[in-house]
Amino acid sequence: MLVQNILNGISLGSVYALIAVGFALIFNVLKFSNFSQGGVMTVTAYAGYVASRYLSDRLDSLVLFAAVLAAAAVSGAVIAAAVERLAFRRLRRTKSEPVYYFISSITMGILLENLITIYASSNFYSYPRFFATSAVPLFGVNVAVTDMMMFALSIAALLALLFILHRTKIGLGIRAACFDVNTVQLMGMNPDFLVTTALMISGALGGVSGVFLGMNYTLYPQLGQMVVKGFVASVLGGLGSIHGAVIGAVLLGILEIFFISWVGAGWAPVFVFIVMLAFLLVRPRGIAGIIVQEKA
């Protein structure tokens, strides 16, 4: 039971990590928590579903699954780029405070969710089953194949992100933008390009997580409101810290699964809240421990 819970928690946490890392990435560059990610996730979950409907006759199992994920990731990146253009570009031109980005992004999230509601008219859809076997034994417990896939692919996506951040020029630019987005101009980079890329990366990650969430639950337009899990994880992790966000997300996943098995799904949020509050009081700087001291 314990092992089972931990494994389930880690796989759920790895999905949260995809969202949380997107938050951390954008917080680094633009200094706000990007709630439009929720809307992006909703859209991608449906995009993945549509792809699966079209492709299920032609492709099979793993290939189909990979194609669906790719479709979701690409659509996530495209929508995130559109969001940048529509909701953030002008605010950046006028050098607005981060709170306006925050407001703009929440509104954008609600808008995207609503467009999907219109499209799907609140019907519930569900993804096809991608794999013939649903569970395999591991460490003496049965682990769902989807859980394993979720875990493995999330890890792969996160590694890809770390590679981009630390081994490519654009990654260097994003890390530099952490200090000041406009100084990257001095390094010969276009801040627009940089911000758009960061958003597209986070959109692609959100796209993958959208499919996973859609598979885990049913597909419904409010699916994207799960974005708060990523927000919670990224804040607990220490704002802007990629590693902190991943750790925060996995801890959150494990906590949720444990509380669900102890006190039931209904009470779990109450206990998660209490643990979260206790954590913040004990360690107010978050997991990564970045403390921002204000200068007088």
Q: State yes or no: residue 107 binds other proteins (CB under 8 A).
A: yes
Q: State yes or no: residue 289 binds other proteins (CB under 8 A).
A: no
Q: State yes or no: residue 178 binds other proteins (CB under 8 A).
A: no
Q: State yes or no: residue 106 binds other proteins (CB under 8 A).
A: yes
Beta bridge partners of 102: none
Handedness of CA 227, 232, 235, 238 (dihedral sign): negative
Look at residue 179 and give its three-state secondary structure. coil
Q: Which stretch binds other proteins (CB under 8 A): 96-104, 129-137, 153-161, 192-200?
A: 96-104
Q: State yes or no: residue 55 binds other proteins (CB under 8 A).
A: no
As measured in angstroms, the least distance from the Cβ of 295 to other proteins is 8
Nearer to other proteins, 163 or 217 (CB): 217
Tokens 């569900």 belong to 126
Q: State yes or no: residue 272 binds other proteins (CB under 8 A).
A: yes
Nearer to other proteins, 235 or 242 (CB): 235
**Distance between CA atoms of residues 42 and 111, nearest Å:** 11
Q: State yes or no: residue 189 binds other proteins (CB under 8 A).
A: no
Binders of other proteins in range 208-237 (CB under 8 A): 225, 228, 231-232, 235-236
As measured in angstroms, the least distance from the Cβ of 251 to other proteins is 14
As measured in angstroms, the least distance from the Cβ of 285 to other proteins is 9
On whether the CB atoms of residues 79 and 40 are closer than 8 A, the answer is yes
**Distance between CA atoms of residues 103 and 92, nearest Å:** 14
As measured in angstroms, the least distance from the Cβ of 216 to other proteins is 18
On whether the CB atoms of residues 261 and 1 are closer than 8 A, the answer is yes
As measured in angstroms, the least distance from the Cβ of 19 to other proteins is 14
Tokens 């009470």 belong to 267
Tokens 């407001």 belong to 103
Nearer to other proteins, 63 or 228 (CB): 228
As measured in angstroms, the least distance from the Cβ of 75 to other proteins is 19
Look at residue 186 and give its three-state secondary structure. helix
Of residues 110, 120, 135, 144, which one binds other proteins by CB under 8 A?
110
**Distance between CA atoms of residues 155 and 150, nearest Å:** 8
Task: Count CB neighbours of 4 within 10 A.
Answer: 16
